[in-house]
Amino acid sequence: MKQFFVSVAKWSWFGLLVLVAFGYMASGLSEPPGASDSGEASDSGEHDARPVRLSSEQATADAPPASDPSHEESIRRVVQAVNAARNAQLGDLGLASADPADWMARCRRMSLALVGSGVSLEEIRALETLPEDRRESTHLDNLLRDPRFHDYWAERWTRFLVGADEGPFVVYRRRRFRHWLSDQLAANRRYDQIVRNLITAEGLWTDRPEVNFLTVTFDSNDGNPDPIRLAARTSRAFLGLRIDCLQCHHDFLGNVNLGDPVQAREGRQQDFHQLAAFYSSAKTNGLQGIRTGQADYKYQYLEEDEEVDVTPAVPYAADLLPAEGDARSRLATWVTHADNRQFSRAAVARFWALMFGRSPTEAVDNLPLDEPLPPMLEPIIDDFVQHRNVRRTIRIIAQCDAFGTSSRASFDITPQHEDHYAVFPLTRLRAEQVAGSIVQASKIKAITRDSSLLVQLIRFGSINDFLQRYGDLGENEFSKDGITIPQRLLMINGKMLREAGELNPVLNATGHINLFAGDDARAIETMYLCLLNRYPDDEERGHFVNGLAQRQDRGEALEDLYWTLANSTEFTWNH
């Protein structure tokens, strides 16, 4: 009798676990209360639902808070100025603008830009409970406080600040540096403060992660960070200037104009090495790590017979450089000075590129002093000069017409339309966005730090393996090259995509949809939402409903549908 009760207790616990698991799997598949089949929210009921409260550690450091009416109004004024500049330029060029994209397309763009994957089904269902005019702003608010945003943009920043390689292991910890950047984003630190910390960093690369900005350039010949590499990184990453060629010779081709935007002069070899001289004050001091000493830079110029002492100096706007202080502190003050507009131009151009997937100019790190940026960027730069706030700048870009317009139009679209944002430019997803979207589309719920350890490990392992095979562009992440044949073959035959679409009733969305979607039409709609973040049109729905009806194994048919949608051009491009 005792054994009987023990057996009953065991099976009761097992049954309870099964019910909990099935409840988890079914979540997100049904329409939200009051929502129609088209995804529109009802006028009745509660409308304050929030898409996925993703973590208790989300930062609330917006200063002032995004909900502050004066804050929102000031952003609205900047957005209006951006839109006015865009409309004026399109009018001058005689270009028509496409209509606005629907809210799902705009939310997908936000997710791809800020967290590196599409929108989860869980998030879509929560957004559908809101009035349509609140969905985009709510999704943007959630994303900007989401640890996924902090981590994803920290990786994007890490690439242009220290590169994609692991660097010298003994004195460099890339992962520590990336986590530090993530913490800065979570705390909503001002961008100029982050840059100042990087330029003036001191201490060990293990306990002061920002020091890795310096030690990644470690020169084994003299045991110190490399001033030449740091000068090149500073000019490209923080100032948007390509002056690397000046390392070896003067600019004879007129590609580098320095001095002053009004009275520009050709770049000289001295310009580069005088900038590098600031970093010669970064000295390695044993167990104390990097310490600030005297600048003692020497270099043999092309026209010289021997090395000469090089005094630290800046290549333009010398009046902004403080006369007092140590070399790196003076440089940091000059780089981030409110009147050094080139710093703000470079930052806004970089954030714009991260949002759109393409640079607003020919190259995001090549913004000559004497060449203007697209007019619509100027109001954003003016605002950034005042606030230096990353989240605020993202809000402005995400709300402007250029970001919200459709990629489709009733007229023939030319490269000129895309170059001037009359339509949203088509951009191929980067490797990590493709991988992140595949993994996220295979799950009903958003994959966050709160997800189960198993799910996080699967995501981490799958993405790393995929990136190695697919090919990671590294620092050249804004390349306009199309998808290659090996990449297309990896999508068609690759292990990651096959496993993500398997009919696994515990882990994968395909298995959940097969079990809980009431009919074939609902199953197809849910699959489209997971992968393409939109509902199928009538022709697509009819085609796949008929296809499912002719298949004996519904689960296998859904696996094929997942594979088909993931291999579509629509899935691997931002639009």
Question: Are 433 and 560 members of one domain?
Answer: yes
Residue 514: domain span:
426-574
440: Cβ–Cβ under 8 A, 6 or more apart, which residues?
Answer: 117, 118, 120, 446, 447
513 within domain boundaries: yes
Residue 471 has pLDDT above 90, yes or no: no
Of residues 50 and 324, the one with the higher pLDDT is 324
Higher pLDDT, 83 or 68: 83
Collapsing DSSP to helix, strand or coil, 365 comes out as coil
pLDDT band at 505 (very low <50, low <70, confident <90, very high): confident
- Per-residue pLDDT, 134: 96
Assess whether 208 and 307 both reside in one domain. yes
Q: Name which of 162, 168, 172 is nearest 475 in CA terms.
A: 162
- 430 assigned to some structural domain: yes
Query: Same domain, yes or no, for 326 and 430?
Result: no
- Residue ending a domain, among 335, 353, 375, is 335
What is the arithmetic mean of pLDDT over 69-79?
A: 91
The enclosing domain of 512 has a CATH number of 1.10.3130
Which of residues 335, 359, 385 is at a domain's end?
Answer: 335
* Ordered DSSP codes for 310-333: E----SB-GGGS-SSS-HHHHHHH
Q: Check residue 511 and give its pLDDT.
A: 87
198 and 330 fall within a common domain: yes
Q: Does 436 lie in the same domain as 315? A: no
User: Is residue 59 over pLDDT 50?
Assistant: no
Task: Summarize pLDDT for 267-302 with one digit per residue, the tens.
Answer: 788 888 999 999 999 998 878 889 999 999 888 888
320 and 443, same domain (yes or no): no
Three-state secondary structure call for residue 36: coil
Contact call for residues 234 and 199 (beta carbons, < 8 A): yes
Q: What is the DSSP string of 117-185?
A: S---HHHHHHHTTS-HHHHHHHHHHHHHT-HHHHHHHHHHHHHHHH-SS---GGG--HHHHHHHHHHHH
- Based on the fold, state whether residues 318 and 198 are members of the same structural domain: yes
Is residue 66 over pLDDT 50?
A: no
Residue scoring higher pLDDT (512 or 486): 512
Q: Which residue has the higher pLDDT, 487 or 4?
A: 487
Length of the chain: 575
Q: Is pLDDT at 425 greater than 70 in this prediction?
A: yes
pLDDT higher than threshold 60 for residue 34:
no
Q: Is residue 265 part of a domain?
A: yes
Cα–Cα distances in Å, from 521 out to 159, 314, 510, 543?
Answer: 43, 65, 14, 10
* pLDDT of 75 over the 90 cut: yes
Do residue 440 and residue 309 come from a single domain? no
Beta bridge mates, 219: 224
Confidence of residue 468 (pLDDT cuts 50, 70, 90): low
Q: What is the mean pLDDT of residues 481-506?
A: 75
pLDDT band at 62 (very low <50, low <70, confident <90, very high): very low
**pLDDT tens by residue, 297-310:** 888 888 878 888 88
**How large is the average pLDDT for residues 456-473?**
68
pLDDT digits (tens, 9 = 90+) for 506-553: 778 888 888 888 889 999 999 999 999 999 999 999 999 998 888 889
Structure tokens at 85: 């500049």
Q: Position 514: which residue type?
A: N
- Residue 77 predicted with pLDDT over 50: yes
pLDDT band (50, 70, 90) for residue 571: very high
- Please indicate, yes or no, whether residues 313 and 453 belong to a single structural domain of this protein: no
pLDDT at 72 over 70: yes
Tell me the residue type at 556: E
Angle between helices 520-532 and 509-516 (to 10 degrees): 160
pLDDT tens by residue, 212-269: 999 999 876 678 899 999 999 999 999 999 888 777 777 766 677 787 766 777 878 8
- Examine residue 555 and state whether it is found in any structural domain, yes or no: yes
State the pLDDT confidence band at 50, using cuts at 50, 70 and 90. very low
Cβ atoms of residues 238 and 160 within 8 Å: no
CA dist 341 and 369 (Å) reads 9
Q: What is the pLDDT of residues 552-565, one digit of tens each?
A: 898 899 999 999 99
Percent of the chain with pLDDT over 90: 55
Please report whether residue 522 resides in a domain: yes
- What is the DSSP pairing of strand 308-310 with strand 257-258? unpaired
Decide which of 335, 359, 388 is a domain's last residue: 335
Count of structural domains within the chain:
2
Q: Are residues 448 and 323 in the same domain?
A: no
> Does residue 306 fall inside a structural domain?
yes
Residue-level pLDDT at 32: 44
Domain identity same for 209 and 331: yes
Classify residue 186: in a domain, yes or no: no
Q: pLDDT digit string (tens) for 364-406? A: 889 988 889 999 999 999 999 999 999 999 999 999 999 999 9
Sequence-distant (6+) residues with CB within 8 A of 165 are: 474
Q: What is the pLDDT of residue 477?
A: 63
pLDDT tens, residue by residue, 171-213: 889 999 999 999 999 999 999 999 999 999 999 999 999 999 9
Higher-pLDDT residue of 413, 59 = 413
The radius of gyration of the chain from alpha carbons, rounded to an integer in Å, stands at: 27
- At 27 the pLDDT is 45
Residue 473's pLDDT is what? 63
Position 54 pLDDT exceeds 50: no
DSSP state of 12: H
**pLDDT for res 514:** 87
Q: What is the model's pLDDT at position 461?
A: 67
**Mean pLDDT of all residues in 408-421:** 95
The per-residue pLDDT for range 123-139, each reduced to its tens digit, is: 999 999 999 999 999 99
Please give the pLDDT value at position 205. 92
CB 420, CB 89: distance < 8 Å: yes
pLDDT for 321: 96
Residue 363 inside a domain? The answer is no
Q: Are 565 and 430 part of one and the same domain? A: yes
Q: What is the pLDDT of residue 469?
A: 67
pTM of the model: 0.85
What per-residue confidence (pLDDT) applies to 25? 44
Arithmetic mean of pLDDT over the chain: 84
CB 52 within 8 A of CB 127: no
